[in-house]
A and B are shown apart, each in its own frame.
Chain A
Amino acid sequence: MIQEIQRNLTEGRLDPESYVEAYYVRIERREAKVRAFITLRPMEEVIEEVKRSVERLRSGRHGRLEGILIAVKDNISTMGIRTTCGSKMLETYVPPFDATVIERIRREGGIIVGKTNMDEFAMGSTTETSYFGPTRNPWDLSRTPGGSSGGSGAALAAHFAELALGSDTGGSIRSPAAYNAVLGLKPSYGTVSRYGLIAYANSLEQIGPMARNANDLEVLYSVIAGPDERDATTVSAVLEKKEVRLNGLRLGVLDDMMEVSEKPVKSVVNDVLNKLSSEGSELKEVKLGYLDYALPAYYIIAMSEASSNLARYDGVRYGYSSGEEGLWTDVYSINRGAGFGWEVKRRIMLGSFMLSAGYYEMYYIKALKIRRLIYDNIASILKSVDLILSPTMPILPPKIGDVINDPIRLFAMDVNTVVANLAGVPAISVPAGFHNGLPVGLQAIGPYLSDYSLISFARELEKITGYRDLTAPE
Chain B
Amino acid sequence: MAKIGLEVHVHITSLKTKLFCSCPSHYAGKEPNSVVCPVCLGLPGAIPVPNKKAIEEAIKVSLALNMQISDKVVFVRKHYFYPDMAKNYQISQYDGPGTTPVAKNGFIKLRNGKTIRIRRINIEEDPAKIVYPTGSLLTSKYVWVDYNRSGIGMLEIVTEPDIEDPKEAREFLEKLRSILEHLGTCDCTIEGSMRVDVNVSVPGGERVEVKNIGSIKGVEEALKYEIARQEALISQGLPVKRETRHWDDVRKVTLPSRYKEEETDYRYFPDPDLPPTTITENWIKSIASSLPELPDARIRRFMVQYGLSEYDATVLVMDKGLADFYEDVLKIYYKPKEVANLLINDYLRWINEMNIRPSESKAKPEYIASLLKMMEEGVITIKIVKEILSDVVKGSDPRKLVEERGLTALRDQEFLMEVIKQVFAQEPDAVEKARRDPKVVNYLVGQVMRRTGKRADPYLVNQLVRKMLEG
**A and B form one complex:** yes
Which A residues have a C-beta under 8 Å from some C-beta of B?
75-77, 83, 85, 90, 93, 95-97, 99, 194-199, 201-203, 229-233, 304-305, 307-308, 311-314, 316-318, 328-329, 332, 352, 355-357, 360-361, 364-365, 368
Contact B44 A93 (CB under 8 A): yes
Q: A90-B44, A312-B42, A316-B83 are in contact. List 17 more A-B contacts (CB 8 A).
A: A77-B45, A195-B45, A195-B47, A229-B49, A230-B49, A232-B47, A233-B273, A308-B267, A311-B89, A312-B44, A328-B83, A355-B268, A355-B269, A356-B267, A357-B265, A360-B268, A365-B97
Contact B49 A311 (CB under 8 A): no
Contact A311 B44 (CB under 8 A): no
Contact A95 B43 (CB under 8 A): yes
Q: Give the complex CA separation of A465 and B274 in angstroms.
A: 43
B81 at the interface (CB under 8 A from A): yes
Residues of A within 8 A of B38 (CB): 95-97
B167 at the interface (CB under 8 A from A): no
Residues of A within 8 A of B49 (CB): 229-232
Contact B44 A198 (CB under 8 A): yes
Residue in A75, A93, A96, A312 whose beta carbon sits within 8 Å of that of B88 in the complex: A312
Contact A95 B44 (CB under 8 A): yes
Flag B40-55 by CB within 8 Å of A: 1 or 0 each.
0111111111100000
Q: Give the complex CA separation of A75 and B38 in angstroms.
A: 15
Q: Across the A-B interface, give the 6 residue pairs with the lowest CB-CB distance, nearest first.
A: A311-B88, A203-B272, A202-B272, A355-B267, A198-B44, A196-B45
B466 at the interface (CB under 8 A from A): no
Contact B269 A194 (CB under 8 A): no
Contact A356 B47 (CB under 8 A): no
The distance from the CB of B80 to the nearest CB of chain A, in whole angstroms, is: 9
Residues of B within 8 A of A76 (CB): 45
Closest residue on chain A to residue B77 by CB atoms: A308
B118 at the interface (CB under 8 A from A): no
B86 at the interface (CB under 8 A from A): yes
Flag B406-425 by CB within 8 Å of A: 1 or 0 each.
00000000000000000000
Contact A231 B44 (CB under 8 A): no
B192 at the interface (CB under 8 A from A): no
Flag B363-400 by CB within 8 Å of A: 1 or 0 each.
00000000000000000000000000000000000000
B24 at the interface (CB under 8 A from A): no
**Could you list 16 A-B pairs, sorted by A, with CB under 8 Å?**
A95-B45, A97-B43, A194-B45, A194-B273, A195-B45, A199-B45, A231-B49, A312-B42, A312-B44, A314-B88, A328-B83, A329-B81, A355-B269, A360-B269, A361-B97, A368-B98
Contact A352 B274 (CB under 8 A): no
Q: A305-B272, A311-B79, A311-B81 are in contact. Are A360 and B97 (CB under 8 A)?
A: yes
Residues of A within 8 A of B268 (CB): 355, 360
Most buried by B among A90, A201, A203, A229: A203
What does DSSP make chain A's interface, helix, strand, loop or mixed?
loop
Which B residues have a C-beta under 8 Å from some C-beta of A?
38, 41-50, 77, 79, 81, 83, 86-89, 97-98, 265, 267-269, 272-275
The distance from the CB of A311 to the nearest CB of chain B, in whole angstroms, is: 4
Q: Give the complex CA separation of A199 and B274 in angstroms.
A: 14
Contact B273 A202 (CB under 8 A): yes
Residues of B within 8 A of A201 (CB): 272
Residues of A within 8 A of B42 (CB): 312
Closest residue on chain B to residue A352 by CB atoms: B267
Q: Give the complex CA separation of A320 and B292 in angstroms.
A: 52
Residue in A197, A365, A368 whose beta carbon sits within 8 Å of that of B45 in the complex: A197
The distance from the CB of A103 to the nearest CB of chain B, in whole angstroms, is: 13
Q: Give the complex CA separation of A199 and B272 in angstroms.
A: 11
The distance from the CB of A322 to the nearest CB of chain B, in whole angstroms, is: 16
Closest residue on chain B to residue A351 by CB atoms: B267
Q: A312-B86, A312-B87 are in contact. Are A332 and B81 (CB under 8 A)?
A: yes
Residues of B within 8 A of A314 (CB): 81, 88
Q: Give the complex CA separation of A453 and B148 in angstroms.
A: 47
Residues of B within 8 A of A95 (CB): 38, 43-45
The distance from the CB of A111 to the nearest CB of chain B, in whole angstroms, is: 21
Residues of A within 8 A of B267 (CB): 307-308, 352, 355-357, 360
Contact B81 A77 (CB under 8 A): no
Residues of B within 8 A of A77 (CB): 44-45
Residues of B within 8 A of A198 (CB): 44-45
Residues of B within 8 A of A305 (CB): 272
Residue in B43, B50, B98, B272 whose beta carbon sits within 8 Å of that of A365 in the complex: B98
Residues of A within 8 A of B79 (CB): 308, 311, 355
Closest residue on chain A to residue B96 by CB atoms: A360
The distance from the CB of A209 to the nearest CB of chain B, in whole angstroms, is: 18
Residues of A within 8 A of B83 (CB): 316, 328
Contact B41 A83 (CB under 8 A): no
Residues of B within 8 A of A96 (CB): 38, 43
Residues of A within 8 A of B87 (CB): 311-312
Residues of B within 8 A of A199 (CB): 44-45, 273
Residues of A within 8 A of B275 (CB): 232-233
Q: Give the complex CA separation of A402 and B341 in angstroms.
A: 88
Residues of A within 8 A of B45 (CB): 75-77, 83, 95, 99, 194-199
The distance from the CB of B391 to the nearest CB of chain A, in whole angstroms, is: 50
Residues of B within 8 A of A75 (CB): 45
Residues of B within 8 A of A332 (CB): 81
Residue in B43, B47, B88 whose beta carbon sits within 8 Å of that of A194 in the complex: B47
Residues of B within 8 A of A360 (CB): 97, 267-269
Closest residue on chain A to residue B42 by CB atoms: A312
Q: Give the complex CA separation of A196 and B46 in angstroms.
A: 6
Residues of A within 8 A of B273 (CB): 194, 199, 202, 231-233
Most buried by A among B46, B50, B275: B46
Q: Give the complex CA separation of A96 and B86 in angstroms.
A: 16
Residues of A within 8 A of B274 (CB): 232
The distance from the CB of B41 to the nearest CB of chain A, in whole angstroms, is: 7
Q: Give the complex CA separation of A202 and B273 in angstroms.
A: 6
Q: Give the complex CA separation of A305 and B76 in angstroms.
A: 12
Residues of B within 8 A of A231 (CB): 47, 49, 273
Q: Give the complex CA separation of A99 and B38 in angstroms.
A: 11
Contact B43 A364 (CB under 8 A): no
Residue in B46, B86, B265 whose beta carbon sits within 8 Å of that of A356 in the complex: B265
Residues of A within 8 A of B88 (CB): 311-312, 314
The distance from the CB of B32 to the nearest CB of chain A, in whole angstroms, is: 14
Q: A97-B38, A328-B83, A361-B97 are in contact. Are A308 and B44 (CB under 8 A)?
A: no
Residue in A85, A195, A317 whose beta carbon sits within 8 Å of that of B46 in the complex: A195
The distance from the CB of A93 to the nearest CB of chain B, in whole angstroms, is: 7
Closest residue on chain B to residue A193 by CB atoms: B47
The distance from the CB of A356 to the nearest CB of chain B, in whole angstroms, is: 5
The distance from the CB of B125 to the nearest CB of chain A, in whole angstroms, is: 14
Most buried by B among A90, A96, A360: A360
Q: Give the complex CA separation of A328 and B85 in angstroms.
A: 12
Residues of A within 8 A of B97 (CB): 360-361, 365
The distance from the CB of B43 to the nearest CB of chain A, in whole angstroms, is: 7
The distance from the CB of A354 to the nearest CB of chain B, in whole angstroms, is: 9
The distance from the CB of B183 to the nearest CB of chain A, in whole angstroms, is: 26
Contact A318 B50 (CB under 8 A): no
Residues of B within 8 A of A97 (CB): 38, 43, 46
Residues of A within 8 A of B43 (CB): 95-97, 318
Closest residue on chain A to residue B50 by CB atoms: A232
Closest residue on chain B to residue A314 by CB atoms: B88
Q: Give the complex CA separation of A85 and B45 in angstroms.
A: 11
Q: Give the complex CA separation of A308 and B76 in angstroms.
A: 11
Q: Give the complex CA separation of A317 and B36 in angstroms.
A: 14
Residues of B within 8 A of A316 (CB): 83
Q: Give the complex CA separation of A76 and B44 in angstroms.
A: 9
The distance from the CB of B138 to the nearest CB of chain A, in whole angstroms, is: 15
Residues of B within 8 A of A317 (CB): 41
Residues of B within 8 A of A232 (CB): 47-50, 273-275
Contact B269 A364 (CB under 8 A): yes
Q: Give the complex CA separation of A314 and B43 in angstroms.
A: 12
Closest residue on chain A to residue B83 by CB atoms: A328
Residues of A within 8 A of B265 (CB): 356-357
